[in-house]
Structure 1
C-alpha cells in the first residue's frame, strides 16, 4: 500500500485502473486491486492466520474497552484495535500450530501507567466481587472519580461480563451479579482505570482465574 504525501492532484477516492484510492484520518492511500490467490498458503502463512483468528476473535467483543484502553496510542496512524492486536500478538499466544491458545495472564486490554496494587477478585453466591486500593497516586494524576473498568471472561461459554456502570476509584469495591449461565467453572478477570475523559489510562491488571461456581 502506498501513501500519497505530495502530488499535483492530491489524493483521490475510488478505482483508477489497477489501483484504488482512499483516505483515513486525513491521510491519502493508494493500493493495488485484490488478486485472487492461486497458490496454496504456506505453513508459515497458515500459522499467522491461525494466530490472527484466535486473537481477533477474543479482542473484537472488547472493542468498547479497547477504545479506552488503547485510545491514546498511535491515534494518528493506527486504530486502538490495531494497537491492541499488535501488543498482544507476540505476548499472549502460546502453544504450537495448529493448537494455539491464549495465555490469559499475559493479555492486556489497556496500556498506560503501571501504578496500582491491592486489586483482587472473588466470587461467591452468584456475585463477583472486585476490590482495589482507593489511595490516589499523585505521580500518576489519579483522581477519586477515575473509572474502574472490569472485564470477566468465561471461556466455557465464550462470553464477557462487566459492571452495568463503571464504578469509581473512591468506591473501593464493586459487586457484579452473575447470570445463571455464568455460575459454572472458572473465569478470568482484568481491571484498568481511566479518568473521566479517557486520557489518563492505566495498564490493565490480570486479577487471575476465579471459581464462579
Structure 2
C-alpha cells in the first residue's frame, strides 16, 4: 500500500487496472488488487462481520438522527461512522442463536449538553406515550428552550418513530402519538435534549420498554 499527494489526475477512487485507489484518514491510498486464494475467514472475523451486519441493519433507519447528534466528526469519520463503531463495541450481545442489539446500551445521540433528569414514560390509550422529566434548565449548558426529542423502536414491526422537537426542556411533560397499527406492540424508547439550530445534544437516555394500548 502506498500514499500519494498528487497523481497524474489527482486522487482517485476505484479500480484502475490492477491498482485500487481510495481515501483513508485524509490520505490518498493506492494498493494492488489482492490475489485470489483459498482464504477462509477466522471465527473472530465471521463474528465481527455478523456484529457489523446486525448494527447496520438496526441503525440505518435512524441515520438522519445520528448524523445530526452523535458526537462530533473526527477527520473522515462521520457521526454515523462513530455511532456504528460504538454500537458494534458496546451494544451487541450474543444470544447463543446469533447476535442481537442490547437496547439498554443503544444511544441515539451523544454529546455534552445537559441530559435528562428523572425521565419516565408510560403508555396511554390510543397508542400514546406520556413522558415526564425534571426541569434542569440553567444547570450547566441547559436552556429552558432546548428541544426534547424521542426515538421509538417497535422490534415486532422492525420500524422506528422519531421526533426531534416534541416540546421544550421546561415543559417537563409531553405526549407522542404513534400509528394505530402499532397497537399491542412492545416498543423500546430513548430520549434526549438537543439545542435548536445547532448540532449540540445530550447523550441519550434509555427509558425502557412499554406495551402500547
Which TM-score band applies after superposition, normalised by the shorter structure?
Answer: 0.7 to 0.9
- Number of matched pairs: 210
Contact 1:119–1:133 under 8 Å retained in 2 = yes
Aligned to 2:90: 91
- Work out the CA distance in 1 between the residues paired with 2:49 and 2:68: 27
Q: Relative to structure 1, is the Cα distance of residues 29 and 51 closer, same or farther in structure 2, using a 3 angstrom cutoff?
A: same
Per-residue Cα deviation, 1:169-204 (whole angstroms, up to 9, x for no partner)? 233222111212211131110012221233322101
* Pairing of 1:29-108 with structure 2 (within 5 A): 29-33=29-33, 38-74=38-74, 76-96=75-95, 98-108=97-107
Q: Deviations over 1:74-130 (max 9, x none)?
A: 1x2201111001111121111256521211001112112364312111111021112
Q: How many Å separate the matches in 1 of 2:2 and 2:144?
A: 46
Matched, 1:132 2:133: yes
Two-structure CA RMSD over aligned residues (Å) = 2.8
- The superposition leaves residues 34-53 of structure 1 with CA deviations (integer Å, 9 ceiling, x where unpaired) of 66674343322221111111
Matched, 1:20 2:14: no
Q: Measured at CA, do residues 28 and 71 of structure 1 come closer, stay the same or move farther in structure 2, by a change above 3 Å? A: farther
Q: Is the contact made by 1:110 and 1:204 (CA closer than 8 Å) also made in structure 2?
A: yes
The verdict on how the C-alpha distance between 1:148 and 1:85 changes in structure 2, with shifts beyond 3 A counting, is same
What are structure 1's unaligned runs of at least 5 residues? none
User: Normalization by structure 1: what TM-score?
Assistant: 0.83
Q: Alpha carbons of 1:188 and 1:36: their partners in 2 closer, same or farther (altered >3 Å)?
A: farther
1:174 corresponds in structure 2 to: 174
Whether the 8 Å CA contact 1:162–1:176 is kept in 2: the answer is no
- Deviation larger for 167-176 or 77-86: 167-176
